[in-house]
Structure 1
Amino acid sequence: MRPTATFTNLTPVRNKERPMTDRTASAPDPAAAHASAVPQPDWPAPLQSGTGPVQAAFRRLVESTTHYLGYSPNIVWGNLQTLPYAEEVLRLVVDLHGTPRDVEAGAAERVARAQYIGSGGRTYHVLLGEQTLLTGIGGPGVMRPQLERLHDALSWPGLTLGIIPARARLAVYPGDGFGIHDETRVEVEGFRGGETITDHRVELFHRAFDLLQQSAVYGDEARALITQALQHT
């Protein structure tokens, strides 16, 4: 049976019947606790101080998040990246934006997020596109250990990891990667930089996650996809 986006023995992450209204109109913004955790949209500006401060700020957001839903169509989710993989990804980012090349500091902060998986009652439900297993970040020497880490992560407590097969029929177009923090805050990343969303559009990302999840496989089926990718890396 496919896992759902709610969490057992916890207050449901969300109510699917809730209308798409701006919840800030009648109550304080529940995302306010996260408001200063990461830089706001437009990466080039905050990145001028280097990837280290940006990634440190994002790690603080991850630390303060109890329930997380995430989708990454073509690169490994940040919390599961190995250090060499994270360094390669951030090197590509700074090369694109022409910002300081402190990739070692940024990568160290990024991989530090893994410590929160399975700790403090935190729960993570993450969907990866199969392309994630195939995207050539850093070559085989980087990709093989990264794929092995994903293989191991399938059994980590506190983490539900699904993979959307490349040939799976989709119920929604793939779109950009995103993360939903504690139901109320969405972080979206792309070439343009990062975007933080805390208004009524958060509901759209919940719906997108539900639709993407319909195409995902878990457990042994996900493990088979990772094993296949390893055999061809």
Structure 2
Amino acid sequence: MTTSPPDAAPGWDDLLRTGTGPVQQTFLDLVRTTRAYVGYSPDLVSGLLQTPGYAAAVLRLVVDFYGTPDDIEAGVAARTARAQYIGQDGRTFHILLGEQALRTNLGGPEVMQDQLQRLLDATNLPGLTLGIIPAQARLLVHPGGGFSIFDGNRVEVEGYRGAETITDEGRVALFRKAFGLLQPSAVYGEPVRDLITAVMATAGRCC
């Protein structure tokens, strides 16, 4: 009999055994209790800023890949509900996206146009700081994969294998350091809007 290492991430087979809805509800509950959030997503739009169409496309890929119960509607409802907490009661959200997140085609041209417009509109949301790391920006740290930090003391990381919650102070500090080194490579404000607008002008011309 083999056992998993004590720090192994829970597999998606276990996490998604009853569908995407419960997992998304868990993240919604976590966001509800968070006062300060920072997150990095190199190639997908952050779940906090996803439109229903984009979220449905993401969760469709998850359901099809893992063969889990198809409750995408419930998953989308919980996933998109996170956005209501941006700026609420003084909450702060600092999100970094890689430029590739604007270009990764999920759901087709219409879905992507709606999603890019959502990002454009989100630049005016109180409580949200949105940065984008241009594809040719010089990096000060290996880009790595996406992660979310909640109130500076809890990290959530997802991958093909599963999801991992990190609360060890030393490991959490590494993610805070990584975010701090990624941030100088990002653009903010008007350059972000210019970049999104430029991608919108070309979205759907291929594939």
Aligned equivalent of 1:152, options 99, 121, 129:
121
**In the alignment, which residue of structure 2 is the partner of 1:117?**
86
Preserved contact between residue 49 and residue 100 of structure 1 (Cα < 8 Å): yes
One-letter amino acid of the counterpart of residue 167, structure 1: Q
1:195-210 equivalences in 2 (<5 Å)? 195-199=164-168, 200-210=170-180
One-letter amino acid of the counterpart of residue 80, structure 1: L
In 2, distance between residues paired with 1:44 and 1:208? 29
Cα deviation, residue 43, structure 1: 2.1
5+ residue gaps, structure 2: 1-8
Is it true that 1:127 corresponds to 2:96 in the alignment? yes
Q: Secondary structure at the match of 2:88?
A: coil
**In the alignment, which residue of structure 2 is the partner of 1:43?**
12
Is it true that 1:74 corresponds to 2:50 in the alignment? no
Aligned equivalent of 2:62, options 70, 93, 96:
93
**In the alignment, which residue of structure 1 is the partner of 2:191?**
221
Question: Which structure shows the higher helix fraction?
Answer: 2
Aligned equivalent of 2:144, options 175, 179, 192:
175
In 2, distance between residues paired with 1:72 and 1:136? 15
Cα deviation, residue 64, structure 1: 0.4
Cα deviation, residue 173, structure 1: 1.2
Aligned equivalent of 1:84, options 53, 56, 72:
53
Is it true that 1:136 corresponds to 2:105 in the alignment? yes
Preserved contact between residue 171 and residue 215 of structure 1 (Cα < 8 Å): yes
In 1, distance between residues paired with 2:122 and 2:135? 20
In 1, distance between residues paired with 2:47 and 2:11? 19
1:181-231 deviation per Cα after TM superposition (whole angstroms, max 9, x unaligned): 001000001111111000020000000001110100000111111001100
Preserved contact between residue 170 and residue 212 of structure 1 (Cα < 8 Å): yes
One-letter amino acid of the counterpart of residue 174, structure 1: P
5+ residue gaps, structure 1: 1-39
In 2, distance between residues paired with 1:141 and 1:44? 32
Cα deviation, residue 81, structure 1: 0.3
Give the share of equivalent positions with the same residue, in percent: 62
Q: Tell me the matched-pair count.
A: 194
**In the alignment, which residue of structure 1 is the partner of 2:182?**
212
Aligned CA-pair RMSD: 0.9
In 1, distance between residues paired with 2:103 and 2:131? 16
Cα deviation, residue 94, structure 1: 1.4
One-letter amino acid of the counterpart of residue 142, structure 2: Y
